Amino acid sequence: MNFLRLPSPDESRRILTPEELALIRDEADIPILAEIKRLSPRGLDYFEGILPKPEFVSDYIRTEIGWVRTECWLLGIKLRRCPTESELSGDYKAHNLSLRFRAFYALKFPERVAEYPPRESRQDARVSA
């Protein structure tokens, strides 16, 4: 994650829209979310191999559930009704929100994550063993 440079507070406020800023509860999250917003798909792919350390899996899941609830609420506002499971799943995939959450968690709590081989490497290791 050394390739990332979190934007300054002023720069962060230019990257995020006023609507996005209004949703952020913790001011410390603003530069993190601004950096994630400006990441290229390739930059975001880096986080594919970043996972919570075993002792932080429960915290990761609990935090991600909050992320999903917020996304559900935002999609509901856009649709003007409660989204179906299919709509929420489609939105999550379309915006790569699972990987964006992983990037958020890794940048906010770097001591709680570790780099693991990407999924394909783990499968290759099992096949060759």
- What is the span of the domain harbouring residue 12? 1-38
Note whether 1 and 107 are within 8 A (CB): yes
Q: Is residue 129 part of a domain?
A: no
Note whether 72 and 78 are within 8 A (CB): no
State the total domains in the chain.
Answer: 2
Q: Are residues 77 and 31 in the same domain?
A: no
What distance in Å separates the CA atoms of residue 111 and residue 50, rounded to the nearest whole number?
12
- Beta bridge partners of residue 115, listed in sequence order: 50
Higher-pLDDT residue of 107 and 92 is: 107
What distance in Å separates the CA atoms of residue 86 and residue 41, rounded to the nearest whole number?
24
Q: Are residues 31 and 66 in the same domain?
A: no
| CA 14 to mean position of chain CA atoms | 20
Kindly state the percentage of the chain with pLDDT values over 70.
88
Sign, CA dihedral 115-24-42-75, equals positive
Average pLDDT, the chain: 87
pLDDT digits (tens, 9 = 90+) for 13-65: 999 998 889 889 899 999 999 999 999 889 899 999 999 999 999 999 999 99
Q: Where do we find the tokens 């996304």? A: 71
- Ramachandran class of 61: left when φ > 0, alpha when ψ lies in -120 to 50, beta otherwise: alpha
What distance in Å separates the CA atoms of residue 5 and residue 54, rounded to the nearest whole number?
27
Q: Are residues 86 and 110 in the same domain?
A: yes
